[in-house]
Amino acid sequence: MISEKIILGIDPGTAVMGFGLISVKKGKMEMISIHELILKKYPNHETKLKYIFEKTLALIDEYHPDEVALEAPFFGKNVQSMLKLGRAQGVAMAASLYRNIPITEYSPKKIKMAITGNGNASKEQVAGMLQNLLKLKEFPTKYLDASDGLAVAVCHHFNSGTITDTKSYSGWDSFLKQNPDRLK
């Protein structure tokens, strides 16, 4: 049995990528780190994707997570925004798979439901509940994208062993078997 598991949660975005890391020892969660990568300042989408890939690799190399959990892009009205979010998620997935770290995707509603019990909770409600769950005196960041990344990690812990309505991959072969339509 594993004595400690480290989970990296990522909320991929093209303006801000939020991430949080938790450690789980004997069923007890503890926050390791929470932060964000500000991407608004970069001139083009390709540069932003490069920094998402590099940051994800750097987090994996520094903290050695056992698993990575990602927020899946949601379906919105703006197709261009969805495409950019999908690329950001794909780059974070590729970095994780490059380091052979298993990944799992969660929908925004599933994350909110796992943290607050309400799939339509606000970002502020999610942050408040995380502060309570992790026994934080104050929330360590002002960016709600960072708390969303932490929420993905906590959601993954709560769903370990009972995962439904999610996609999980242990490597490129696993990804391609579960997504044959993405192979050209």
| Residue 11 counted as an annotated binding residue | yes
| Residue 145 counted as an annotated binding residue | yes
Please state, in angstroms and rounded to a whole number, the distance separating the CA atoms of residues 75 and 149: 19
Candidate list 67, 71, 105, 148, residue with the active-site label: 71
Contact between residue 165 and residue 119 where contact means Cβ atoms under 8 Å apart: no
Candidate list 36, 67, 105, 145, residue with the active-site label: 145
Q: Is 11 tagged catalytic?
A: yes
Candidate list 11, 67, 105, 148, residue with the active-site label: 11
| Bridge partners (DSSP) listed for residue 69 | 9, 104
Q: Is 71 tagged catalytic?
A: yes
CA atoms lying within 13 Å on the CB side of residue 102: 13
Cα torsion angle, 128, 130, 136, 140, sign: negative
Residues 37-55 as b or e (16 or more Cβ within 10 Å = b): bebeeeeeeeebbeebbeb
- Among 35, 60, 163, smallest CA distance to 107 is for 163
Contact between residue 23 and residue 154 where contact means Cβ atoms under 8 Å apart: no
Concatenating the DSSP letter of every residue in 46-73 gives: HHHHHHHHHHHHHHHHHH--SEEEEEPP
Q: Which residues are annotated as a binding site for Mg(2+)?
A: 11, 71, 145
Q: Known catalytic residues?
A: 11, 71, 145
Q: Which residues are annotated as a binding site?
A: 11, 71, 145
